[in-house]
Chains A and B, each alone.
Chain A
């Protein structure tokens, strides 16, 4: 398995609190992604990064921010969690060149109460 770790794996938090999810990779891949998965919506891209300190918005970026200060870590922050952000969050990494396929973490189940 590709070296990609998400933490925490499960979290319950209260509405209005900030939450940070961490994605850590040991593959030195250039690209990192954050997705959320909800029934009926498949995977939706929140933010992605194409290098250290280089990030861009995805389809559902409102209410989320990201940071990538080093190659191996990509942080997703919910500034003020809402119940609509209850979801399963997946991080993914990919490289360039001949094998650009993405590798996924195991997911973080976040519940906002």
Chain B
């Protein structure tokens, strides 16, 4: 099974609403990263949070990390139709030479 698991699998919201996506993982990590993928394209890095950090912000993105629960959440505020994409969390596993593993992803649809 995969190291990271995102939840929910799919999310549909209205433009202007906030979108919250969750990620759980299994083993100790150096950092956790979130990526976005538009249909048919490669993944694009959004934000990274290190294991000793609890919260980070970047523009409309807010990510939290709870290492005791092995979980992270990504919040996109004031969503736009252009945010429609698949979102993935990725974990850099401790002691594994930067082995970067991804979850199955969340499909976000933002309705205009």
Binding site for B on A (CB under 8 A): 30-31, 33, 35, 40-45, 48, 50, 54, 56, 58-59, 90, 92, 94, 96, 100-107
| Interfacial chain B residues near A50, Cβ < 8 Å | 97-98
B56 close to A (CB within 8 Å): no
Of the four ranges (under 10, 10 to 19, 20 to 34, 35 or more), the interface on chain B belongs to 20 to 34
| Interfacial chain B residues near A33, Cβ < 8 Å | 100
- Contact check, B101 vs A45: say whether CB atoms are below 8 A apart: yes
- Contact check, A101 vs B102: say whether CB atoms are below 8 A apart: no
- Prevailing SS type, chain B contact patch: strand
Binding site for A on B (CB under 8 A): 2, 30-31, 33, 35, 41-45, 48, 88, 90, 92, 96-105
User: Whose C-beta in chain A lies nearest to the C-beta of B30?
Assistant: A100
- Contact check, B92 vs A100: say whether CB atoms are below 8 A apart: yes
Are A59 and B42 CB-contacts (below 8 A) given A42-B88, A101-B33, A101-B48?
A: no
Contacts A35-B102, A58-B101 aside, 20 further interface pairs with beta carbons under 8 A come to A42-B88, A43-B43, A43-B102, A43-B105, A44-B102, A45-B101, A48-B98, A54-B97, A58-B99, A59-B2, A92-B100, A100-B92, A101-B33, A101-B48, A102-B45, A102-B90, A104-B42, A105-B42, A106-B41, A107-B42
Report which of B42, B88, B98 forms a contact with A100, defined as CB distance below 8 A. Answer: B98
